Amino acid sequence: MGEGTAPRTLFDKIWDSHVVERLPDGTCILYIDRHLVHEVTSPQAFEGLRMAGRSVRRPDATFAVADHNVPTSDRSKGIDEPESRIQVETLERNVAEFGVPYFPLMDARQGIVHIVGPEQGISQPGLTIVCGDSHTSTHGALGALAFGIGTSEVEHVLATQTLLQKPAKNMLIDVQGKLPFGCTAKDIILAIIGRIGTAGGTGHVIEYAGEAIRDLDMAGRMTVCNMSIEAGARAGLVAPDEKTFAYLKGRPYAPKGEAWERAVAYWSTLPSDPGARYDTTVTLKADEIVPLVTWGTSPEDVVPITGAVPDPEAETNEARRAAKRRMLDYMALTPGTRMQDVAVDVVFIGSCTNGRIEDLRAAAAVARGRKVADGVRAMVVPGSGLVKRQAEEEGLDRIFREAGFEWREAGCSMCLGMNPDQLKPGQRSASTSNRNFEGRQGPGGRTHLMSPAMAAAAAVTGRLTDVRQLVN
């Protein structure tokens, strides 16, 4: 069956339109439309170009920003930590040398690369987007094929504007019905990962569909696509629709005038055709989703906030039983403990998963008129300088500050603890980020993943809390 005859998925359409050459063994030279670059995974790639005497093929399609190890405290005096400073300075030298557009640290547009791309309108439907960061899947919320790559591939894209790839399998995740009160996009994606596991999507690109996905705003769709990688998938996709177009219209790098009309007409052809074939289909009922938290050190270890720490001895597979024992030991939890009885030391609201203005509004709605519990450190880290500015215009910073939250500058921050924002050994966090791996937020730190509203609820009570008890 040739192109244009068989029904195709959204992924198939984007893939087909980006194949430059199909090599005899099926490997494709895939054209890349947008390349986002940050300070941690790019220095060795630029160095590789320099050593081979190569240039950046399309600096106009390449955008750089420092996010992973920038301080989220006052930055006007620069970066204290020498290694972080060298990495950011190296990025600045590289973008100057190779002519790559860059959003500097003191620019309001600086922020987490996956917040910045959509915010600036750099990420658009039907494009291929890559970045040396696994959470590039975020941009799939706009109907773009977006995935994370390693540094060798960063160098490959810089030099050739292409990648060597084989097509992924198609997975459809159909989230039917309406999401109940108190539940968010974060609960949808945690429910999905809990269901299919962290390797469930391996080899696939996931297309999220169904009423509950259509009902999400763009921020919610980004949260869902963001954690596709935690489900093992390379990328997540949501079909572009009127919400997508309304979100993009007028953004700095979005098409304008006649080009906008042509773009929308094209984007409208992208959704999967009726009868398109998926290799794997998963169905979830949104009305059965409840606010979720993680208990272990893998994002698939989810449990309803109303539930309890599971018993590893109930696990039949020996390796998994041993792994769960190790997790509980690391997390200092005992089977049967009610999740709502688990006290937290730190609350982190931010990250590429949940650092958008909508996330801060949801957290502020819970924090409003309340106080952070004694002994809890709560921090809010906006996803970009523009998110921060917007929040301040709406008075959200005042709500957070009056409640006792720290109001910080934009960056990846405690999501991965590359900057000074780290958990101390043994500390326990309620976090809106994406990974609860051992040591992820600092050596010996213990992470519980949840939605922004749930994290704010934990901040004001000092323990994991069912947010439905705090809001009407």
Interaction residues for another protein, span 344-363 (CB under 8 A): none
Is residue 432 within the footprint of another protein (CB under 8 A)?
no
Choose, by CB under 8 A, the member of 6, 23, 96, 246 that binds another protein: 23
Dihedrals phi, psi of 407, to nearest 5 degrees: -110, 110
Q: Which of 245, 207, 180 is nearest to 471 (CA)?
A: 180
Nearest residue (CB) to another protein, 20 versus 332? 20
- Greatest Cα pair distance in the chain: 65
Is residue 101 within the footprint of another protein (CB under 8 A)?
no
State which of positions 126-145 bind another protein (CB under 8 A). Answer: 126-127, 132-134, 136
The residue range among 239-247, 279-287, 308-316, 434-442 that interacts with another protein, by the rule CB under 8 A, is 434-442
Least distance in angstroms from the C-beta of 168 to another protein = 8
The residue range among 157-165, 238-246, 275-283, 457-465 that interacts with another protein, by the rule CB under 8 A, is 157-165
Choose, by CB under 8 A, the member of 149, 183, 218, 363 that binds another protein: 149
Choose, by CB under 8 A, the member of 59, 215, 217, 323 that binds another protein: 323
Specify whether the backbone of 466 is left (phi greater than 0), alpha (psi in -120 to 50) or beta.
Answer: beta
Is residue 87 within the footprint of another protein (CB under 8 A)?
yes
Cα–Cα separations (whole angstroms), residue 61 to 96, 100, 162, 291 = 15, 8, 12, 39
Size of the site for another protein (CB under 8 A): 78
How many of the other CB atoms lie within 10 Å of CB of 23? Answer: 10
Choose, by CB under 8 A, the member of 124, 431, 433, 451 that binds another protein: 124
How many of the other CB atoms lie within 10 Å of CB of 453? Answer: 29
Nearest residue (CB) to another protein, 47 versus 273? 47
- By the 8 A CB rule, do 404 and 378 touch? yes
Nearest residue (CB) to another protein, 182 versus 417? 417
The residue range among 229-237, 340-348, 350-358, 373-381 that interacts with another protein, by the rule CB under 8 A, is 229-237
Least distance in angstroms from the C-beta of 23 to another protein = 7
Distance separating alpha carbons of residues 130 and 31, to the nearest angstrom: 11
Choose, by CB under 8 A, the member of 56, 352, 416, 456 that binds another protein: 416
Strands 377-380 and 346-349 turn out to be parallel
Q: What is the DSSP string of 169-204?
A: EEEEEEEES-PPTT--HHHHHHHHHHHH-TTTTTTE
Is residue 273 within the footprint of another protein (CB under 8 A)?
no
Distance separating alpha carbons of residues 39 and 90, to the nearest angstrom: 8
Least distance in angstroms from the C-beta of 385 to another protein = 23
Question: Look-up: residue for tokens 């960061």?
Answer: 133
State which of positions 181-220 bind another protein (CB under 8 A). Answer: 198-199, 202-203
State which of positions 394-413 bind another protein (CB under 8 A). Answer: none
Is residue 440 within the footprint of another protein (CB under 8 A)?
yes
Choose, by CB under 8 A, the member of 96, 266, 268, 401 that binds another protein: 266
Nearest residue (CB) to another protein, 189 versus 373? 189
Least distance in angstroms from the C-beta of 92 to another protein = 12
State which of positions 24-83 bind another protein (CB under 8 A). Answer: 25, 27, 29, 31, 33, 40-41, 43-44, 47, 52, 54, 57, 60-61, 68-69, 81, 83
Choose, by CB under 8 A, the member of 101, 389, 444, 463 that binds another protein: 444
State which of positions 300-319 bind another protein (CB under 8 A). Answer: 319
How many of the other CB atoms lie within 10 Å of CB of 394? Answer: 14
Handedness of CA 259, 260, 263, 268 (dihedral sign): negative
Handedness of CA 254, 256, 260, 263 (dihedral sign): negative
Is residue 259 within the footprint of another protein (CB under 8 A)?
yes
Choose, by CB under 8 A, the member of 9, 62, 72, 84 that binds another protein: 84
Distance separating alpha carbons of residues 89 and 48, to the nearest angstrom: 17
Q: Which of 226, 172, 170, 234 is nearest to 202 (CA)?
A: 234
Is residue 392 within the footprint of another protein (CB under 8 A)?
no
Q: Which of 87, 458, 240 is nearest to 78 (CA)?
A: 87
Q: What is the chain's Cα-based Rg?
A: 22
Is residue 120 within the footprint of another protein (CB under 8 A)?
no
Distance separating alpha carbons of residues 299 and 163, to the nearest angstrom: 29
- By the 8 A CB rule, do 296 and 29 touch? no
Nearest residue (CB) to another protein, 148 versus 210? 148
